Homo-oligomer: A and B are copies of this chain.
């Protein structure tokens, strides 16, 4: 979003980028601690003022959710490309696993980010709106397949439970060192589709 310099030529140049602040904040959160880090600290390390930080991010916690929000868009696109003959729960599983394929370079950052989200109460609290958007992407797909509206019981439940299963998978991935994320996701979603029988 910020990268596109098409049209934006005039005006004072940015002192930094959202991505740069994100890296700095992620480092401080994981080394110093989230509560122990003030927004002033992040801004100073980024060479900008505290007020400018809040122009790049809505809150101290919002830094962690940039990549996650991107995944929601990827999720919707992947759902659009699913063939109609694939069963619903199977399609959901394939799409989720596909979207969660990260390169080896992104793994360390993903790991620290998920570890923070899973361990810091203030960050867990900030998850709600982002989780909602993710669930909604699944619910919309389930609505099409079931022929019901997205805000009715079954599509809603499918969206919510799918994320719930994925969160359990992510939690296992963080705890069990050296394990494969997609394996956990696949196992959790298979269990969900089988009704945990």
Nearest B-chain residue to A128, judged by Cβ: B124
A171 proximal to B (CB < 8 A)? yes
Residue from B126, B168, B175, B195 within 8 A of A195 (CB atoms):
B195
Q: Contact: B164 with A160, CB < 8 Å?
A: yes
Q: Contact: B124 with A192, CB < 8 Å?
A: no
Give the bracket for the number of chain A residues in contact with chain B. 35 or more
Main secondary structure of the interface of A (DSSP, over half): helix
State how many copies of this chain the complex holds.
2
A175 and B196 in contact, given A160-B168, A161-B165 (Cβ under 8 angstroms): no
Most buried by B among A152, A184, A196: A196
Minimum C-beta distance from A34 to chain B (A): 14
Q: Contact: A184 with B153, CB < 8 Å?
A: yes
Residue from B124, B129, B163, B196 within 8 A of A89 (CB atoms):
B196
Q: Contact: A193 with B193, CB < 8 Å?
A: no
Residue from B165, B172, B197 within 8 A of A152 (CB atoms):
B172
Q: Contact: B188 with A157, CB < 8 Å?
A: yes
When distances are taken between beta carbons in the complex, the residues of chain B under 8 Å from A167 are 160
A153 and B195 in contact, given A164-B163, A164-B164, A168-B160 (Cβ under 8 angstroms): no
Minimum C-beta distance from A31 to chain B (A): 24
Q: Contact: A157 with B168, CB < 8 Å?
A: yes
When distances are taken between beta carbons in the complex, the residues of chain B under 8 Å from A154 are 191, 196
Q: List 5 A-B contacts (CB under 8 A).
A: A89-B195, A124-B128, A125-B126, A158-B196, A164-B164
